[in-house]
Amino acid sequence: MDDHALAAALVTDAAETAARMRRDGTETERKTSAADLVTAADRAAEALVGRMLLEHRPDDGVLGEEGARSEAASGRRWTVDPIDGTFNYVAGLPAWCSAVSLDVDGALRVGAVRRHQPDETWVASDERTTCNGEPVPDLPDVPLATTAVATFLNASHLRSEAAATLTALLGAAATIRISGSGSCDLADVAAGRIGLWVQTDCADWDWLPGRALVEGAGGAATIVTANGHDWHLAGAPTAVAEAAALLSTASDPDA
């Protein structure tokens, strides 16, 4: 398999494993908070992806959310999020997915996201994004004031020093959507359903798969440092530029 087909297979098999284990019942543990959960399905799906990569790309490196780590002299590295949106997964909500990405010598080459509900397999490679094997059209370029912005929030965000900055950014949009799964949101951005996605201080597995989808659909993606946080932005080029300018102003009170 080429990298595009392999990425699709990785997320499809991981999501099917997770869906089957949820039907059968799976153990759940708390990690850092009541909202930060890990299940036996997270670990089983990540282990499955690891075995598939060992079979098909034994010389590649791996970085997984649940602890998979291996370095590679080849310069190729896969990131793995076996279940993004674990809280939703446990609660029986539909917004969860499996996601992977591949970077080569630090350059993002492939991203893939499998959403069990709806039945969507997203893959980006060669700077183009497909959904269920069909190329997606370029997403519409819209200003922030006319579109939805998706983000991730829990109670700690509301208590942080970045709360005022986040409130200002969200308040500049037409409306707000919070699903609880960043990679699901980024697939919706690539589909043109949402104009902008923003989240602070993302791990690579929460950022790179969805970023590839958005860029492959003609969108923009960037990281802006403001008020001690790295703000990850992806979406319509105009909305991203406006959000980045807002964040830059927020970090410089004399601007």
Q: What is the mean pLDDT of residues 111-120?
A: 96
Q: Is the pLDDT of residue 12 over 70?
A: yes
Q: Is the pLDDT of residue 16 over 90?
A: yes
Q: Of 211, 192, 194, whose CA–CA distance to 151 is shortest?
A: 194
Q: What is the mean pLDDT of residues 245-254?
A: 76
Cβ atoms of 186 and 214 closer than 8 Å: yes
Q: How confident is the model at residue 141 (pLDDT cuts 50, 70, 90)?
A: very high
Q: What is the mean pLDDT of residues 204-226?
A: 97
The per-residue pLDDT for 35 is 56
pLDDT mean across residues, the chain: 91
Give the residue carrying structure tokens 């993004």: 84
Give the residue carrying structure tokens 């970045």: 162
Q: What is the mean pLDDT of residues 111-126?
A: 96
Report the 10 Å Cβ neighbour count for 57.
18
The per-residue pLDDT for 249 is 86
Q: How confident is the model at residue 251 (pLDDT cuts 50, 70, 90)?
A: low
The per-residue pLDDT for 33 is 59
* Residue predicted with more confidence, 107 or 252: 107
Taking only the tens place, the pLDDT of each residue in 54-71 is 999 999 999 999 888 888
User: What is the DSSP code string of 100-120?
Assistant: EEEEETTEEEEEEEEETTTTE
Q: How confident is the model at residue 156 (pLDDT cuts 50, 70, 90)?
A: low
The per-residue pLDDT for 159 is 66
